[in-house]
Amino acid sequence: MIRALAAAVLLAVMAPQPGGAARVVSLNLCADDYLLLLAPGQAVAVSVLAADPALSVVAAAARRVAAVRADAEAVLALHPDLVLAGPYGAQTTLALLERRGMRVERLGLPQDFPAIAAETRRVAALLGEAARGEALLADMRARLDAVTQRRPQRVVFLEARGYVAGPDSLAGAVLRAAGFRPAGPAGQPGLETLAAHPPDLLVTATAPDYPAMATDLLRHPALAGIPRREVAPALLVCGGPWTAQAVTVLAR
């Protein structure tokens, strides 16, 4: 009797909340972040990128979970109740899984904080973890509300290969939330243009442990005189409540 009661209590604690899934597989880095922050106990496997701290905000937790590639046979062998994926990539695999009757949910790519809030609530509902979703959003709002307004500065968010993030991008939303004004439209203005018309501040997001030719321009001597701030790439690869941490870094 006591053993049966203990077993029942244990099952009740371990079971997902209404609307959730007991076994979840993620095939997308953004989905990895959401899954391991909202429902780590339901994670059966995550993508191979989840354990990379340069890209993932849940790298430490991901190392305690199996990694799986976007291969239909590998996913089917895990017997998940739910597969989380992104809007792009692995579409053939996802179609095969759906034809086998598997539930697949594709996450969006929010580009501003209201969209992040909506997506967080949607994913939290899918996982049966509405309360955890609201807790993440409360932390996000607290970080955004703590930003002290300043005189707007012209800021360029310079990405790999010399691309400038536009005002309607996730990086643009982060700059505005930190009290800055994104300078110019999205595109590749070129090194000469940046050097001749320097912004008040350059913001970059590079992974120093992974040097690449695509990011060499970011360290060009012609840009050395422009004040610069660095943001961890993992905070901006995907839009989520964690993105508010990038605002905190820039607003200091």
Is 35:127 a contact under the CB 8 Å cutoff?
A: yes
What pLDDT, on the 0 to 100 scale, is given for residue 16? 42
**pLDDT at residue 20, rounded to an integer:** 60
pLDDT score at 98: 96
Residue 17's pLDDT is 44
pLDDT at 2: 29
pLDDT block averages, 10 residues each, the chain of length 252: 31 42 93 97 96 94 96 95 93 95 96 98 96 98 89 83 85 93 80 85 76 68 86 94 95 86
Per-residue confidence (pLDDT) for residue 211, from 0 to 100: 58
Q: Are 182 and 155 in contact (CB under 8 A)?
A: yes
- Domains with residue ranges and CATH for the chain: 19-108 (3.40.50.1980), 109-252 (3.40.50.1980)
What pLDDT is attached to residue 164?
A: 84
pTM exceeds cut of 0.95: no
Residue 4: predicted pLDDT: 34
Q: What is the DSSP string of 164-221?
A: B--TTSHHHHHHHHTT-EE-S-SB---HHHHHHS--SEEEE---TTS--GGGGGGG-G
Q: How far apart are the first and last CA of the chain?
A: 59
Instruction: Give the contacts of 46 (CB within 8 A, at least 6 positions apart).
Output: 25, 26, 32, 35, 36, 62, 65, 66, 67, 68
